[in-house]
Amino acid sequence: MPALRTGSHPAVRHGLLSAQAGWESRADYERDGGYQPGLSGADLVAAVAASGLRGRGGAAFPVARKLATVAAQAGEKSVLVNGEEGEPASVKDRWLLRARPHLVIDGALRAAQAVGARTVCLYVSDATSAASLDAAIAELGAVPPATWPSAALPAAALPVELRVFRVEPSYVAGEETAAVNAVNGRPAKPSEKPPRPFEEGVRGLPTLVSNVESVANLPAISAGAAGAGQAFLMTLGGAVPRPGLYEVPFGIPLGELTEVLGGLAGPARGYVMGGYFAGLVNSRGHGLPLDYDALKAAGTGLGCGAVTVLGPGDCPVGAAALLLAYYGRENAGQCGSCFNGTAAMAGVAAALAHGEARAADIERLAGWTGFLPGRGACATLDGAVNVAASLLREFPGEVDAHQKRACAVCAATDFLTTDSPFALSPGSITPNVGATL
């Protein structure tokens, strides 16, 4: 696996990728303007609303609305910062936690102040992330509580109890109710909603569950920095010479980025969008702006910001078969429509990749993509449907051809693997901004 790079688009200001090499200490972070006084409470919520910040875990829910909703609940509240990052093609949250723990903690403390929470749970599965957070919290703890974490935040917000919670990694463990369940001592599996965490979360308290990258945007927004929240972290993987973690402004066409950010090894055959969740797009993805609404209108999504490029050596049918097999394995095994539906869709996709599916199988697959959305307690089944539906929509020629016989790529693919397709590891990221783009 090639080393992952990091880099920022020239238009990015007040980005989340640090300019320094290695782990950012409290002293480093404060020297760079961290833990400083800024907008708080309702003023911070208003600034977040003005920034347009949407949840970076994948659901893109407006962060200000979530903050305001939790803030409006009566009594004690809680914050859960979600760093589980279950999408295997995404590394951004683990990178932030490993390289810039104080940025995440600073954002989490501001979120806690804004909603009136006294407890913050930092929810992670990555051991290196947990160690980074532990080290950062130890640095904060060395300062007397009166100024802890600094004099920056209103005294009414302190003391805030910071706690790191580690969970076994899995696709579903990052779902917000799964996170709450895990912290509450139950299996890290999603629950049927309602109640949602803002009503009943950690220890039954109204809880703000927010993604690591979402809260990492709060310090710059709190400081009133121009451009804060206007870029996102994109994990770029697959058939590109320079896979990596790149910070890019919203709205730039995908094709422009894959050229700017590393060039393509060959013409892109397609893309896997939003980690696995938003499914496939064909080569038209080249012209699609990286924007939540534009991508949604195009039938796909930005999700957690991870994009995998499919090159000449990839087959979209084979990719869909591997992704659906993953959903078949990694779903929570709870909802019948999900464990049956993912297995059924994975079965047809595998048969198609092997050149053994017939028209009736493809009709059944199309039928499931129409009937199954929304039939699970969480969105896992919807993610699998996105993969299957997008295969049929974006690659009809390949689907037809595979009904006659498997292509050379599929014939050479091991579909029995239990590896996560297109997975990237933050372990191979150099923890600094290497590339100036």
Partner 1 sequence: MKIKLDRTICDGFGKCAEHAPAVFSLDEWGYASLERGLSADADLPPELEQPARRALLDCPVHAIIERRPSR
Per CB under 8 A, residues contacting partner 1 are: 189-194, 199, 332, 334-337, 340-341, 371-372, 374-377
Beta carbon of residue 73, minimum distance to partner 1 (angstroms, whole number): 10
Closest CA to 372 of 363, 362, 361, 383: 383
* CB 17 within 8 Å of CB 7: yes
Closest CA to 258 of 295, 309, 332: 309
Please measure the distance between the N-terminal and C-terminal CA atoms of the chain and give it in whole angstroms: 22
**115 or 377: CB nearest partner 1:** 377
Beta carbon of residue 399, minimum distance to partner 1 (angstroms, whole number): 22
**40 or 191: CB nearest partner 1:** 191
What is the amino acid identity at position 276? Y
**244 or 347: CB nearest partner 1:** 347
Beta carbon of residue 339, minimum distance to partner 1 (angstroms, whole number): 9
Beta carbon of residue 374, minimum distance to partner 1 (angstroms, whole number): 7
**377 or 437: CB nearest partner 1:** 377
Beta carbon of residue 166, minimum distance to partner 1 (angstroms, whole number): 24
**187 or 253: CB nearest partner 1:** 187
Could you tell me which residues come within 8 angstroms of residue 125 by beta carbon, excluding any fewer than 6 positions away? 83, 84, 85, 86, 166, 167, 168, 169, 170, 173
Beta carbon of residue 344, minimum distance to partner 1 (angstroms, whole number): 8
Residues 349 and 352: their CA atoms lie apart, in Å, by 5
Joined tokens for residue 264: 């393509």
**312 or 367: CB nearest partner 1:** 367
Q: How far is CA 298 from CA 105, 259, 318, 324, in A?
A: 36, 21, 23, 21
Beta carbon of residue 368, minimum distance to partner 1 (angstroms, whole number): 9
**204 or 251: CB nearest partner 1:** 204
**78 or 217: CB nearest partner 1:** 78
Joined tokens for residue 241: 């010479």
Beta carbon of residue 335, minimum distance to partner 1 (angstroms, whole number): 4
* CB 97 within 8 Å of CB 84: no
What phi, psi does 76 have (nearest 5°)?
-70, 145
Q: How far is CA 244 from CA 97, 258, 305, 422, in A?
A: 16, 11, 12, 13
Beta carbon of residue 365, minimum distance to partner 1 (angstroms, whole number): 13
Beta carbon of residue 208, minimum distance to partner 1 (angstroms, whole number): 18
What is the amino acid identity at position 60? A
- Which H or E run contains 254? helix 254-260
Q: How far is CA 232 from CA 60, 108, 249, 305, in A?
A: 12, 18, 6, 7
Residues 41 and 44: their CA atoms lie apart, in Å, by 5
**193 or 405: CB nearest partner 1:** 193
Greatest Cα-to-Cα distance within the chain, rounded to the nearest angstrom: 72
- CA dihedral sign, ordered 40, 99, 32, 144: positive
**168 or 192: CB nearest partner 1:** 192
**192 or 259: CB nearest partner 1:** 192
Beta carbon of residue 295, minimum distance to partner 1 (angstroms, whole number): 24
* Tokens 């064909």 found at: 282
Residues 244 and 14: their CA atoms lie apart, in Å, by 19
